[in-house]
Each structure stands twice: as structure tokens, then as C-alpha cells.
Structure 1
């Protein structure tokens, strides 16, 4: 090897190629793209939920979400409101949505916690509602995500609009089959007793079997209807807990307004809610 060649290698900085470019620069970008493709294959962003957020590593998060293209401000709050209302209508989430101003923010609350979303994408709160709203904020901040149309008005029903039970066709069919089985059992036992044939024991056994099956079906239907009524009443109680059917403002909104007033009094300015 010539002396000139050895001089060039000695003078080149460590980790650099001969033309002065850092070593590994050619492979850095493809690695990010490869990780992004892996994230897109691993997660279903059309059905992105809290469990997916817990599984996602910081590297996967940085690869999936580009902070330079995030949506913020009023548009973000509008998208989150539309997304959450759709999830509430689909019974995927139980919460009530309120839009507050000064500063502009979105509040979601239930009997199991609350969450406040600000225009910069920061979120504060506690409980299940906070866990449920974080995926919506993450998705709605992405320009690629198509948020649903905003549903106007209240999404949660009034407690009086909740039906007592499902009254499903399946329950009615089971009840009909149960009645038919019980009647067949009684008729079979009656016919064997009246005829006095040698097979009366077998006929009686079959008749009792039909009656038992009919009673079991009766019990199943009755239990299902009681469960439906219990769930309906429980749902009404949850609706009342968040202020549906009442003119009183929920406690969580009073607490948030009190916190804002306290923060304003201490600083003399409008409070900052960034996390």
C-alpha cells in the first residue's frame, strides 16, 4: 500500500468513510422505514386501542407517528370529539362529552373517571376514561386517520329511553320450545297411564324427560330476562351518575372549573394545562 493511501486513512475521522460521510448514514433511513412497515403490519390502526398503546415501544411510537405532521388546536379537538362520540354510540366507551372554553378543551367523564384534552394534544385525567381517550387523541392527531362525522347533540340516551330488556326472538323461541316440551311430556305421561300398556314405565320416563327439559328452558329464559333487566337498571344508574336526566351540573365539571379558578387566582393569568 502506498504512503499516500495510508495518510488518507489515518487522517479520516473514526466512523467516517473516505469521502467524509458518516458511516452508517446509508442504513439509518432504511431502518426507520423498515420499522415503520413492521409497525403497520403489527398494529391495526383502524381499531387502535389502549392495549395496543401499552404494547407499543418508544421506538415503534416514533416510527409510527411523525410529530412534524401532527394535527393540533381546534381541529384536533373537533376530531377527538367526533371519534369519541362515535365510540360512545357504538357502546365501545361509556362517557359523556362536554366542550369547554377559556381555554378551549374537551372533557370526557363518567362514573369511572374523567379526561381533559387540550389543543396541543396533552391529556390529563384519571380512571378508565383517561385510558379510553388516549388512543383517540393519538389517532386523531394523525393526518392519515379519517375521523368519523361529528354527531350533534347528546349521544348517551335518557334513562327513560333504556328498554327493560332485549325481548329478543331467541328468548321467545326458547320459551316456545320449553312450553311445547312440557306439554308433550304431560300428554305422554297421561296417555301411558290411561292406556295401561306394558310400556307405561318407558312412556312415563320419556314424559318426565320432556318436562325436565321444558323446565330447564323456562329457567334459562327467566334468568336471561332478569339479567337483561339488571343490566338495564345498572345502565340507567350510570346515566344518572353523569347527569343524564338531571339539570344539575356533574361534580367533575364543578371540580374542573374550581381548579381553573384557583390556577387563575394564583398566577393572575389563564392557566396553562400542558403536561
Structure 2
């Protein structure tokens, strides 16, 4: 009987280990994101994230801060990041929402920022996750430093081609009057018109691209200003009162 109970206990332990290994087979935790969190069941969550092995406290805050800095630097997350000592927490906010991360791993907030921050907290809670080292210049840019045009090589090359086609079209038109084209006048005229039309089309493409770049730049600048990047003022919907907190300066942490 004892052997039977031992066998059943071993089978139960084996089944439990197998169940707890299912999420690792179904989810890529290196690319773990909001969609994965949405489709993960409660049992899978418990199996994937053993509460006894979660990282919490100031270590979690340190890891979340570093990971969010890296994501902001890569423009994967659009947010202004602040850290406070009393009580310890991370605040991330933009023009569309905010998220507050506490040492126990809980997150509160609203908008798109919460959607971006929750996967970061889940990953940073796992000991196996290696937090990337953020660059020194990780924060969102000042609105005035955002260029209004890309000025890329592609647009310049299109302009050169368009100008060359325009010159060729004009030369073909001139040849109709000063040259002896004979019976091929119609062909030369058609070619001249095609060259001019092609050059006009390419000039319009370049103009549209530059105009689109300018509109995107202006929209980005407006978002940065709305998020308080330039003025350092938080949006009104962020529930943080400077009189009730002790901010930690950039580059510092709670243990210093």
C-alpha cells in the first residue's frame, strides 16, 4: 500500500511539473507582450510565474526602470518616466495615459501606457529575464529637437532623376524645332511629353513625402508637448502630487 501511495504521489508530482511546463512551450517569454497576457489563463499564469520565485521590492523597481528606459530609448514605449522614493514606485505617463508600478508588482493606471508597462513588469519579475542596459540618452527628445523633415538620400536621388528627366524632355522639345527629325517628329514629341510627365510625377512624390514627414514631425512634437516633455509638467489626469512624494533624480535609485 505504501508503495502504491508513493507511486501515486510521484505520478502526481510528475503531472504537476508537466502542467507547469506547458506555458513555456506555448509562449515565447523573450517576446512576451500584451497579446500573450490576454490569452493566458489563470492556471497558465500561476504555472509560468511561481509566486515564490517572483522578484519584488526595490530590485523589481530597479529592473522595471532599466527595462522601460531601454524601451523608451528604442521608441518601443512612448512615455515620460519618473521614479519616487516615498513610497517606492515608478511612474510612466504620456499624453494618452499613465501607469504606476509598485514594489509588489502591481500596476495601476489607464490608457496605452498601462498596456505597454504590464508586460515589462511581468518579465522583470522573472529571475531568468535579463534586463537590457539602457543608453545614457534614453529619454524622449525635446519637441524643438525633432527635425521636421527626414532629408534622406532617397528623396534626393528622386529629385536628381526628376531633374534629369525634365532636362531630357525639354531637350526633346527643343529638338523638334531646331533639329531635323523628319518623320519621327511624333515619336520625339511623345517621348518629350513622357519625360516631362515623369519628372513632374517624381517631383510630386518627393513633395508629398516631405510634406508627410513634416506633418508626422509636427504631430510628434505636439504629443511630446502634451506629455509635458518640454515643460516638465505632468498631464492633469496623472494622479501624482509633488507635495506628497519624494522624487529621485535621474540616474539614482532607492538604495542610494
The interval holding the TM-score normalised by the smaller chain is: 0.7 to 0.9
Is 1:236–2:221 an aligned residue pair? yes
**Counterpart in the other structure of 2:64:** 80
Is 1:159–2:159 an aligned residue pair? no
Match of 1:222 among 197, 207, 212: 207
**Counterpart in the other structure of 2:108:** 124
Separation in 2 of the partners of 1:180 and 1:29? 76
- Tell me: higher relative CO, structure 1 or 2? Use CA pairs within 8 A at least 6 residues apart: 2
**Counterpart in the other structure of 1:146:** 130
Q: Kindly indicate whether the alpha-carbon contact (under 8 Å) linking 1:95 and 1:129 is maintained by their aligned counterparts in 2.
A: yes
Q: Structure 2: 5+ residue runs without aligned partners?
A: 246-256
Report deviation, 1:37.
Answer: 4.8
- Residue aligned with 1:105, SS: strand
Match of 1:94 among 78, 93, 102: 78
Report deviation, 1:145.
Answer: 0.3
- Residue aligned with 2:208, SS: helix
Is 1:190–2:174 an aligned residue pair? yes
Name which of structure 1's ranges 79-88 and 203-212 shifts more when overlaid on structure 2: 203-212
Aligned length: 244
Report deviation, 1:150.
Answer: 4.6
Query: Which one has a bigger Cα radius of gyration?
Result: 1
Aligned residue runs from structure 1 range 42-61, under 5 A: 42-61=26-45
Report deviation, 1:38.
Answer: 4.5
Separation in 1 of the partners of 2:137 and 2:172? 60
Name which of structure 1's ranges 222-231 and 175-184 shifts more when overlaid on structure 2: 175-184
Report deviation, 1:193.
Answer: 3.8
Separation in 2 of the partners of 1:28 and 1:192? 93
Report deviation, 1:248.
Answer: 3.7
- Residue aligned with 2:183, SS: coil
- Residue aligned with 1:59, SS: helix
The 1:168–1:46 alpha-carbon spacing in structure 2 relative to 1, beyond 3 Å, is: same
**Counterpart in the other structure of 2:51:** 67
Separation in 2 of the partners of 1:97 and 1:104? 14
**Counterpart in the other structure of 1:4:** none
Q: Structure 1: 5+ residue runs without aligned partners?
A: 1-16, 262-275
Is 1:21–2:5 an aligned residue pair? yes
Normalised TM-score (structure 2) = 0.85
Is 1:111–2:101 an aligned residue pair? no
Match of 1:203 among 180, 188, 196: 188
Report deviation, 1:227.
Answer: 0.9
Separation in 2 of the partners of 1:88 and 1:166? 21
Normalised TM-score (structure 1) = 0.80
Is 1:177–2:161 an aligned residue pair? yes
The 1:176–1:142 alpha-carbon spacing in structure 2 relative to 1, beyond 3 Å, is: same
Q: Kindly indicate whether the alpha-carbon contact (under 8 Å) linking 1:81 and 1:150 is maintained by their aligned counterparts in 2.
A: no
- Residue aligned with 1:75, SS: helix
